[in-house]
Amino acid sequence: MLRRPLRHLLAGLLLAAAIALVAGRAWLSVSGPYLEALPPYPYCAEAEAALADDRLLEALELAEAGACPAVLAAAEARWNAPLATFERCAAGVWTGFGEDAAGVACAVASDLLVFGDVRDLTRQGVAWGRGEATDPLLIGLSTAGIVLTFAPHVGVGNALLKAARRAGSLTRGLADQLLTLLRRGAWGAVAGLSTDAARVSTKLGVARGTRALAYADDATELADLARFVERAPAPLVALRWGGKQTLRLADDDALYRTALSRGPDGLRLAAERGGRALLARQPLLITLGKAVVKHPDELARLLARWATWLLRWLTWPWVLLASGVLALLALAARPRRRRRSRRRGVATSSTRSAT
């Protein structure tokens, strides 16, 4: 007697599992996409490839972002070769230009010692005297560097702005705004911009700082960039992959780190969808977790892991196949009706009554 209820129960559970599988995959498809479905980014492999191609700055950034100590040590050893570093530094001090971190850093150091500002003003004056084109922004920044000599934090930022201008990474919008302020003699506003630029330089260094300034088109974006650079790990990698939209992730460390671990696709997805890109934050999973009084957070994390597995590994063909198999098993487990036995019982009773 107990076998029939147990088989009914088993059949019901199998059928419910088939329906839940299809419904869960459909919900994830409609409400997604999610970061958890993306594979982790191969930072170490990409860093090794960049190092093999002699792309040292990129190798350093990828190795730092992916915590790859062996590749990082090899890249730093090649980057910091003593003789080559000295030559690049000397060229940066004399010309004000730098092709790499050492050259740019030494060029900026010369600006901090006023020598660079005098050098640039002299070069611009000579060019003007010869009838050649001059750069009004470099003239204004060099003047500001001399005027603001006794404000070290401003001087660092001013020197970084000049380095970005020479490297061609200073955006047109920010350059126009700076030039307008310099022409007005608005030294306070110029000092504010320089201070934000100094924050970028302090965190990233000079060479990387000049590249980061390419993602700020005005003073507001420069302030946002400085805040992002100070808070986020591997900020330059994130900016290169996700663009200026990545700046909005500065206040959400968990979302940013998860997106960064998924590489370019993860950062773009997080920048576009915000917190909705994290599967673990979906209201349905949170509600199901809170439905259990004890340990709701653990249940929510368990449901998120199950949903991540379902989303990443079970594509629609596999889901339909698995749900079909479960449905067939449910039909096979369901007990059959006893119609034949009842008919036999009626026939036997009628025979007995006739005899």
Give the whole-angstrom CA distance, residue 199 versus residue 154. Answer: 10
In a domain, 259, yes or no: no
Q: Is pLDDT of 88 > 60?
A: no
In a domain, 276, yes or no: no
Q: Is pLDDT of 144 > 90?
A: no
- Give the pLDDT mean for 263-291: 76
Average pLDDT, the chain: 78
pLDDT at res. 83: 52
pLDDT band at 1 (very low <50, low <70, confident <90, very high): very low
Give the whole-angstrom CA distance, residue 83 versus residue 337. Answer: 91
CA atoms within 13 A on the CB side of 177: 18
pLDDT at res. 238: 94
Q: Is pLDDT of 119 > 70?
A: yes
pLDDT at res. 264: 94
Say yes or no: 201 and 132 in one domain.
yes
In a domain, 98, yes or no: yes
Say yes or no: 104 and 205 in one domain.
yes
In a domain, 321, yes or no: yes
Say yes or no: 14 and 87 in one domain.
no
pLDDT band at 315 (very low <50, low <70, confident <90, very high): confident
Q: Is pLDDT of 225 > 50?
A: yes
In a domain, 206, yes or no: yes
pTM of the model: 0.70
In a domain, 119, yes or no: yes
CA atoms within 13 A on the CB side of 162: 36
Q: Is pLDDT of 12 > 70?
A: yes
pLDDT at res. 213: 93
Which structural domain, as residue segments, surrounds residue 94?
A: 82-231
